[in-house]
Each structure stands twice: as C-alpha cells, then as structure tokens.
A and B are shown apart, each in its own frame.
Chain A
Amino acid sequence: MMNVAIVFIIGIGTYLIRLSFVAAVGRKTVPEWAMVPLQFVAPAVLAALVAPAVLLQNGRFDLAPSTNPRALAALIAILVAWKTKNTALVIIVGMSIVWFLQAVT
C-alpha cells in the first residue's frame, strides 16, 4: 500500500513540475538564482546514483578488480559512453566485463 502511495505521489509531483511554467501565464522565465543550480541537477544527481553503486562493495570502498569488478567495468563503460553514446553497447560491454572478471577471479 505504501509503495502504491509513493508511486502516485512521485507521479503527481513530477506532472506538477513539468506543468509549472507551462501553466503559469505571464511569468515565463526561471529566475536567475534558480537557473544556475538547476543546470547542475543532472550531473550531480546522476553521479550520486552511479558512484556508490560501482565504487562500494558490501558497503566498503573497493577498486580491486578481483573483489569489485564493477569499478573497472564502469571505467571502461564511461569510455564507451563517451565515444559512442550507445546505451545498448554500454550495457553489453559493461555487463560482459563484470561477467568476465567474475569468471576469472
């Protein structure tokens, strides 16, 4: 039940965010003080999502390929994403490296 409420609240909140300026007649620009922080939402949030997932293993900072294959796989995935911007390829390359490192170590 709680999860149903969470999904609906996020859904309604997201709709209201998208509607915000479109519905506001008259004021059509984001004030400067809000515009600058908004620009950094994407890089900050996405990095905060990625970093713990790839740099931590069982809650501890770990870069060794033998115990945490995800760190090395993520590094290579960044290069592939940077060069190709191809989502499917990044997933395939990243997953393959993790599977390979899991198999050999």
Chain B
Amino acid sequence: MLDGAQAVAPMMLGVIPFGLVFGIVAAGSALGPLLGGASSMIVFAGAAQLAMVDLIDAGAATVVVIATALIINARHIMYSAALAPHFQDFPTPARFALPYVMTDQAFAVSIVRYNDVDDPVYKQWYFTGAAVTLWIVWQLSTITGIVVGAQVPDSWSLDFAIPLVFLVLLVPAVKSRPDLVAAVVGGGIAVAAAGAPYGLGLMIGAVCGIVAGVIAHRVIR
C-alpha cells in the first residue's frame, strides 16, 4: 500500500494546483461551493468536473453537459480493460470498489508495477495505496480551492487557469503525429463551432478530432 502511495507522490504536483483551480472555479459557478465540493466525491474525475462546470455556466443543454463529461472519461474504458486481468484475482468487493478511485495516475503507476509482480494481494494494495492517496489529495485541494475561491475577485482572470490546466494534460497526450492531427482538428473545429447551440461546440470538436486521428492513424501506418 505504501509502495503505491509513494509511486503517485510526485504526481501530486499536478493534482494539487488542478484541485485548487477546480475548487475556485466551482465556488464561483452556478454549481456553487457545496455541490462543487460534492462533485469531487461523486464524480472524482478532474477534467470532466472542470468541463462540466464550464458548460453549466455557459448555459449548455443538460444532455450535452452529461455527454461531454462522459466522452472525456471514455479513456477509462482502456484503463478498465488493461487492469481487468489483474483485478479478476481480487476479492469481489475490491473489484467493484476500486474502479471508483481509478484515475489516469493510479492506472499509470499500477500497470507499470504489475509487469514485475504476480501476487494479487500486493497488486490490490498497491493500486489502493496509489488511488486512495490521490483521492484524499483531490478532496483536500478541492475544498481548499472552494474556501479560497470565495475571496478571489473577477479581475484576476482566474478562469484562464482552466485552459492552462487542460494544456498541462494536453501536451504529454500528444505523443505521435496522429495524436497531433486529432488535437489540431479537435481544437480547430471546436473554435469554428464555438457558436453552436446547446453548448455542442466542444462535443463536435472532440468527435471530429477523434475521427481525424483515426484517419491519420490509417494513412500514416
């Protein structure tokens, strides 16, 4: 358990400012401090939470807010599939509880470690240590952001911290030329479609970017 916690510790440098920004933004949004804080426990997925708050504030249609957040979290299907062969040896309660705390970070450190070990008990507690550490830090940084957020004036342009946080996630996600095509098309179409009704612009951009990435993947290979 400690091994897992130790492995994710350096990643807190990214998690803490992200949680602070979410807390500050949520506190000043239509979601409000209480529901904003609760969403960190109910959803526990930073990028989706931030996009959700952004879209709700922009007056997007309910269906669009939900669909966009779930598309952002669709990457967890890959994580779930990659972890499944390891998780199948865990006790049933753990198999159903641990996916709740699944994150990019906990997945990344665990899947690497799982290459070197066979003991399912160790695997279970390694993931638990990594994931629960992150959960606690996310809740604490969100709450801190909410408390601080009430005192931040609009003139600080703190809403710009939202795209900055996404940029930090975006840059390492572009690892190949098809990735770059997906990003450029996704961003470009999202800009062009920004005026689309119901807040659909983000989803249209994202879907076009994914399609463009798939095409580029075929062509380049």
Contacts and interface: CB of A to CB of B under 8 A. Distances in A.
B180 interface: yes
A47 B17 CA distance: 20
A50 B56 contact: no
B162 A53 contact: yes
Contact of B165 (A42, A44, A85, A87): A87
A52 B201 contact: yes
Contacts of A28: 81, 84-85, 88
Range for the number of chain A residues in contact with chain B: 35 or more
B76 A14 contact: yes
B62 to A, nearest CB: 6
A77 to B, nearest CB: 5
- Label chain A's interface by main secondary structure: helix
A11 interface: yes
A95 B157 contact: yes
B191 A52 contact: yes
Given A44-B206, A51-B191, A17 B166 contact: no
B4 interface: no
B74 A51 contact: no
Contacts of A74: 163-164, 167
A48 B99 contact: no
Interface in A1-58: 2-11, 13-15, 17-25, 28-30, 34-56
B214 A40 contact: yes
Nearest to A20: B80
A53 B80 contact: no
A10 B87 CA distance: 24
A50 B100 CA distance: 27
B137 interface: no
A18 B80 contact: yes
Contact of A49 (B51, B77, B80, B208): B51
A39 B186 contact: no
A102 interface: yes
B50 to A, nearest CB: 8
A4 to B, nearest CB: 6
B18 to A, nearest CB: 6
Contacts of A59: 194-195
25 contacts: A3-B30, A7-B52, A22-B95, A22-B98, A23-B96, A28-B84, A41-B75, A45-B72, A45-B186, A46-B169, A48-B201, A50-B163, A50-B170, A51-B190, A52-B205, A70-B160, A74-B164, A81-B172, A85-B14, A85-B172, A87-B165, A90-B164, A90-B167, A90-B168, A95-B164
Interface of B: 13-18, 21, 30-31, 35, 38-39, 42-45, 47-48, 51-52, 54, 56, 62, 65-66, 69-81, 83-85, 87-88, 95-96, 98-100, 102, 156-158, 160-174, 178-180, 182-191, 194-195, 201-202, 205-214, 217
Interface of A: 2-11, 13-15, 17-25, 28-30, 34-56, 59, 61, 70, 73-74, 77-78, 81-82, 85-88, 90-91, 94-95, 98-99, 102
